[in-house]
Amino acid sequence: MSNPFFDQPILNSPYEYPCRHWELDSSGQPTQRIVENRRPAEFITPIPKSKKQKTAPVQQDLIFDEGKGLSSEKQQQYDPTSIINEIRKLVDTWHSLPSSQWQVTLETMRLLQHWRRYDFSWIRPFFCQIEAVETTIWLTEVASLSVAGKRILEHLMSANRNTNPEFSGLH
């Protein structure tokens, strides 16, 4: 029996914005339906159901305690997906603005224009590489200029202070 999800798991080009994804049910099983938008960030792994199994297995939460056994389960659970999805939305909105509204330095504007217009003929950067750099640019040059961006920066700084107070990745 054919299973389109496992026969053709990749729907998007690695060089373009991911605009489609396979729908998964609440237990992480493919529904065989393609959804025409970007998948929200989630930590879920689709695992095929065993032929002998009557119901699909339920995705369990994975808790890390670094082997020290000193933390409670509640302290170890940190779900960054909501902040990731919010940052994606804000960066997507920013990305769609005309260059005159980017609110970046002149050097950054030239770099962004190059990436967005240049016809790469040889080694072309993957979408995820460009998105990572654009997100970094947004976080360092643009986020502090809006209320939503300031809230994101404060969230990231707070999370950093709680986990690694000696190192700050955002300035």
Residue 127 lies in a domain: yes
Give the residue with greater pLDDT, 107 vs 63.
Answer: 107
Regarding whether 132 and 77 lie in a shared domain, the answer is yes
Regarding whether 158 and 78 lie in a shared domain, the answer is yes
Counting other chains too, the contacts that 14-20 makes at CB distance below 8 Å and 24 or more residues apart are 14/126, 14/127, 14/128, 15/124, 15/125, 15/126, 15/127, 16/127, 17/127, 18/127
Reported as a pLDDT band with limits 50, 70 and 90, residue 171 is: low
Residue 55 lies in a domain: no
Reported as a pLDDT band with limits 50, 70 and 90, residue 117 is: confident
pLDDT digits (tens, 9 = 90+) for 32-84: 999 999 999 988 776 666 666 666 555 555 555 455 544 445 555 567 899 99
Domain that holds residue 20: 1-49
Reported as a pLDDT band with limits 50, 70 and 90, residue 90 is: very high
Burial 96-116 (b: 16+ CB within 10 A, else e): eeeeeebbbeeebbeebeeee
Residue 67 lies in a domain: no
Question: Which residues are CB-neighbours of 62 under 8 A, at least 6 positions away?
Answer: 43
Query: How far is C-alpha 142 from the chain's CA centre?
Result: 19
pLDDT at 24 over 80: yes
The mean per-residue pLDDT over the stretch 135-149 comes to 97
Q: What is the mean pLDDT of the chain?
A: 83
Locate 109 and state its tokens: 């504007």
Residue 163: how many CB atoms within 10 A of its CB? 9
Regarding whether 155 and 105 lie in a shared domain, the answer is yes
Length of the chain: 171
**Of all helices (H) and strands (E), which one includes residue 132?**
helix 127-137
Domain count for the chain: 2
Regarding whether 87 and 7 lie in a shared domain, the answer is no
